[in-house]
Structure 1
Amino acid sequence: MELAAEAGGSVLAARYVARMAAGDILPDPGQARIVSALAKLEQRIASRRLARKTSALGWLFARRETEAPPLRGLYIYGSVGRGKTMLVDLFYECVAVRKRKRRAHFHEFMADVHARIFQVRNEMKAGKLKDGDPIAIVAHALAQEAWLLCFDEFHVTDIADAMILGRLFEKLFAEGVVVVATSNVAPKDLYEGGLNRALFLPFIDMIQKHMEVVHIDSPTDYRMEKLDGVRSWYVPGPGESLSDIDREIDKIWRRIAGRDGGGPQVIEMQGRRLKVPAAGGGAARFSFADLCEAPLGASDYLRLARAFHTLVIEHIPVLEQDRRNEAKRFITLIDELYDNGVKLVASAAADPEDTYVGTEGAEAFEWARTVSRLREMRSSDYLARPHGRGDSQASGATTGLVET
């Protein structure tokens, strides 16, 4: 309980210690350092919110708030699989902000920003808005919606993102927005080797001014550890039933997402909503019907591939010729997961090469590539791949944010 006491009895630290006591989290000094930093920010946010409330002592807290410097967020960086996403998820759940907060994958946040800027410019051209700085207008709208932003996988590969980040975040920070972000790289290494990087450097200075930079130096890759010994494709063996496989998948899911099994999420995509039945620890769990019997396409699957490092897909049936539409969706889904280094755990009625038995149409030929990719996704080399494409293609999405 030393961690909880050190962090001032925060909800976050207490919950982390409880999960560690239950065996859901292993003791890790590197993670403990991040928990301490997040817990302190949690406490500062709670104090600042108290200062805004009207009460008999409201004048006292308000006076302290005006004298206090702006809240600094956190930039947490380190190698993949060290628990960054899990810790920020825990912070997001525990922090005393109920409505004006937003949790998003960074690429999806930027896709939303680009879409908003495009819309503002069109409204200016149509005379619906006065001419001005579209980025400032978008930043103000974002700050009104959420004053706490939590990002996953903060990295910059696209020049379009790089050129607007400084102006965007300058406005966000000026409006008091607090940012907590995870990344695989230190701020000084963002957009390394990118075009016109000199124009991007002031943004790095801005990060260091408005965010505490903390390195998570845990030696353990928990993502690989959780997948150790886990097969990517489960079919009933001799003497096994589908119920046996379901129970095995459930054990694997709780190993990946945590003992509570995570919870549902909603992904918003330019007015559309995609329901995620269960998500936790950076992973998502679906049935085949959820993903391939619904009217989804490549942009939806790309959105999922960027939002989650692992997908668990259950109850993949044998697909006959009359189910070529479902087969086509599954082929597209696997393409996006493969391209983005997403790890897959699936339960199916048959091995991959026997899952689609259609003989006509493009799907019959494309399935061979899907089988090849599914085989490669079982390999240790693939499992060691970082999540995301890591190239300029990763910035072309037109989707929105992840909500919890």
Structure 2
Amino acid sequence: MLGVLARLLTHGYAGTQLTNGYPGADLSLEGTVLAGLLGGTVVGLVVGMMVSLPAVLFPAHELLAAPMAVLYAVVAGTARWFCPDKEEIWKFSPFIDLSLYRSIKQRFKQPGLDWQVLFSLVCVMLEASRISFGRMAPGRLFFLDSPHLWTKALIVLATLIGVGLPLRIWNSTRMQRKLEEQERLLMEARMEALVSQINPHFLFNTLNTVSSLIRFDPDTARTVLLKLANILRRRLKSQVHFLPLKQELDFIDDYLDIEVVRFGRDKLRIRKEVDAEALDVFVPSMILQPLVENAIRHGIAPKVEGGTIVLRVARDKGRLVVEVIDDGVGIPDERRPEIYDSGIGISNVRERLKVLYGQLFSLKIESNPGHGTTIRFEIPELIAPGKAGKAAPVEAAS
């Protein structure tokens, strides 16, 4: 519509007579055909009436603009209706020579109608119809014409480009969005696969604890089962990949209660040093449990007198810093080169952080044999607006 107005306001063409102005702004045919191909006849009619309205009402009184818009919409909409695969519309190219070559090559493999060539013929036919009707009723319909054959060919080519080029651009954007959606779905599937590695691993160890308690301490076994039920219920209710740190710590509390029952309060001590301002920061779900389990299983469990695990969380310059510290047996020197890739816990956490944050995270392990291990990771801070607190750090001991 704006193109038609620009042509009329600058006086453009009147029939075949050139006047001062910019007739190239008028894309009423191209716009109506695009609407018909993409949306069908009804959409094409709506767009055609809108773009032809200024031409009919302005002093030029191009009365054939509206009937021709109907013709454009019906022909384009009918072509869309007959096309069995609507993806063929998005493949339409303004370069007819390539379409012909592709058509000839395809016909040798599988006989059938080439819709790219058909759409090109539709554009050529409609442009020829506009020129013919414009010649029969001078001044009643806008059209471009020339006595020179090559100029006429360029006019038709411009129509093909006016229809095909936007389709190409929009299709590129459409394919980009599809790729982004597929990447998102792939990332979610990958995350689900990584989380699914943790759930059976954790469940297996917990059930072993219950089986060892059920014979001589059934009341404690029942308590452990209730804690396990709370954990599984929370996991079933929420399948999101991120959750506030407070909820992740609630999950860890249930898990640690089970482990304390298993090892005894004199053998496993827990201390939490959590910045209150960090409680509303979003973290990947079940990101702490594998690290805590790793510290208990490989650090505290082999130590006869047991030990202490410190869970420390703080915010630092737009990043969340998480540390899991134990005073267990540490990591032998010969195992350090393979520590990031061995087992499920560390490798799983590292892979999940890599999937979620790319190069924006860091994961470091420092260990002193006989004195303990520190696992530290940093991730970008993600916090809901207005949720940051200003309370003092929270310290808890179990």
**TM-score band (shorter)?**
under 0.3
Higher RCO (CA 8 Å, separation ≥ 6 residues):
1
TM-score (norm 2): 0.21
- Larger Rg: 1 or 2? 2
Return the structure number with greater helix share.
2
TM-score (norm 1): 0.21
